[in-house]
Structure 1
Amino acid sequence: MFVRLLLNTKSSITLMMPWWIGTGGAGLRTAFGLSAAGFKTAVISKLFPTRSHTVASQAGINAALGNMEEDDWRWYMYDTVKGSDWLGDQDAIHYMTEQAPRAIIELENMGMPFSRTEDGKIYQRAFGGLISHYGKGEIHRTCCVADRTGHAMLHTLYGQVCTPFFDESFTTMLGSI
């Protein structure tokens, strides 16, 4: 596989390695995972990574940690499937809701400065009508960094990705040899 880039200097370059296009939260996490797994990775972005739209996310990230009250990933799964009007990919929702606590702890270990309770646990707030016990009440499930969760996540991930970045670049050709 190769990618040809039009760089911000009006010159072009051809990369012959695994590459990742995009630097939002998902793009940076993918680049981190590829790099950590030993792949020689380059990140291509049309803007500086910490200016992607993920920075606008204020609310937080849902995970059934149970830091404020009892919670269960199965209740979170039910809540998510119901919220999708039963049209969401239930296998994907199952995986996402079951693995969400692990992803939150991973971000915490990377240095994401989550808001905390008085006893030091990650603070969780009620948000967006989240429910517990299969619809029997509201629950605090949203992990947040005040109202700057997206900003904190982007800066945390950007600080962890140890790979070349091609910022303000455009892909002009994708192909395989």
Structure 2
Amino acid sequence: MKWYSLMPGILLLGLAGCQNFPALYSSAKPQITTEKIEQLSEYGAKFATEYNRAAQKTCTKYTRLYQQGDWRAGWVLALQVSATNNKHCLDNTAAIQILETLESQKKIDPELLWLTQVHLNWLKELEQQTKSVSQLKRAANRKQSRVNELVKENQDLVEKLEALKAIETSINQ
């Protein structure tokens, strides 16, 4: 009896195996043109050189270029947020906004979407961690304030206790 209930399933699997189903994903790799990658590398190198010479001027220039429609300028500005130096042209929130905008408008070359996604995920995680750190710092500050209040209250109580002891001593003499 058990075999009769399994037979339709086995039959369906056997018939499905003979069918030609479309692939769930494309196995064809996108063609990365060396020329595009070289151009973008040169663009990024130019930004880095200009930024090392005059950071504020370069930030202003590339922000203006992005506002005028040059997606590469916004992309480079957003990627620069992860640089290890202390000064950045953008904060994490602005970089996330630029990358999401570029992605939704499909302005980024398809070859760079994976890098954009990785960077975007990294920035979002960094933003979340920054918020968590801020919350923890506020909580620590509140607790430190409470500790300071308790220490002061304890000192007041110790002083009052010593005053009472002094009064008791003077009464007993």
Q: TM-score, normalization: structure 1?
A: 0.21
State the structure with more CA Rg: 2
Answer 1 or 2: higher relative contact order, Cα 8 Å, separation at least 6: 1
Q: Flag the structure with higher strand content.
A: 1
Q: TM-score, normalization: structure 2?
A: 0.21
Q: Flag the structure with higher helix content.
A: 2
